[in-house]
Amino acid sequence: MKSAVVVFPASNCDRDAQVALEAMTGKKPHMIWHGDSEMPDVDLIVLPGGFSYGDYLRCGAMASQSRIMRDVKAKADKGVAVLGICNGFQVLTESGLLPGALMRNADLKFVCRPVGLEVNETQSAFTRKYEHGQRVTFPVAHGDGNYFADDETLDRLEGEGRVVFRYAGGENPNGSARNIAGILNEKRNVLGLMPHPERVVDPLLGGTDGRGVFESLIEALS
Amino acid sequence: MKARVFVTLKNGVLDPQGKAIGNALHGLGFGAVGDVRQGKVIDIELTERNEDKARASLKDMCEKLLANTVIEKYEIELRP
């Protein structure tokens, strides 16, 4: 599986994603600067966590307008898998690749801790190696992860099996509607989630629950 | 021409910052304070002199970047 990680100014999980991808796939991902105009030929594009453009205007708003995003959108339309983690999820909603918006956490606090999740959907290239309903723990680290969409959109996401990860009972760290932690686009090749699977692929870092996302992608895309 | 764009959360969208400001105002003894909503003001200088064109262009800016219309609404004020 060939992969690329987009690097925006003030991305700070780009290296985490790089290390996880290299460890899991055995191949170094391409690191693509946001000002570049074209993505290399890859199976997976990762939009990493961080504070792109200092979160100016709104989280992900400036990054969604950067030059490389035009090609990311074009590649996503053609079916290339795109994984947006944390700030990457915010960039995906701001660029219209995923519905809804990520708002300030309901209690206004930056939350940085491991959080229990349920894998709510395994019919996806990102989660096929998990069991339906499997409980996993991924870290979160964000101030704006409060997923919002109108009821019609939320019903549609649930009805179409596009809510892939939910915060487990009592674990919702940010006030997200219907405990939503991660969603797919309609074509199911774009996933955005606030928790960080790339930070839990090595026991030395506190867990390996995130490996399933990469193992699923490797199986689906190789 | 100068423009002032107001970006605020849509009605019904939870505004925790507005709530916190309201609570702080109550804490300061401003008992008459009811609901508080907060937003952004963006001042833009334009070289466009035609008001209709300026307004159309600002609307486009709001839709494309200045506001996230999933959660926010905007108002445009023009001054010569």
CATH number at residue A162: 3.40.50.880
Q: What ipTM does the predicted assembly reach? A: 0.85
pTM attached to this predicted model:
0.94
B13 contacts chain A (CB < 8 A): yes
Rounded-to-5 percentages of helix, strand, coil across chain B: 35, 30, 35
**Residue of A148, A152, A153 to mutate when probing chain B, most B C-beta within 10 A:** A148
Instruction: Answer yes or no: do A103 and B71 touch at CB < 8 A.
Output: yes
B68 contacts chain A (CB < 8 A): yes
**Is residue A222 predicted with pLDDT exceeding 90?**
no
B41 contacts chain A (CB < 8 A): no
**Is residue B12 predicted with pLDDT exceeding 90?**
no
Contacts of B62 (CB under 8 A, 6+ apart): B5, B7, B69, B74, B76
Nearest to A119 by CA among A132, A102, A137: A132
Closest-CA residue in chain B for A66?
B65
Instruction: Answer yes or no: do A149 and B70 touch at CB < 8 A.
Output: yes
Strands (E), chain B: 2-9, 39-45, 72-79
Domain encompassing residue A107: 3-221
Contacts of A177 (CB under 8 A, 6+ apart): A147, A148, A149, A154
Q: Considering the domain delimited by B2-79, tell me its CATH architecture.
A: 2-Layer Sandwich (3.30)
Domain definitions of chain B by residue range: 2-79
Instruction: Please write the tens of the pLDDT for every residue from A28-54.
Output: 999 999 999 999 999 999 999 999 999
Beta-sheet pairing, A81-85 with A190-193: parallel
Instruction: Please write the tens of the pLDDT for every residue from B58-80.
Output: 999 999 999 999 999 999 999 87
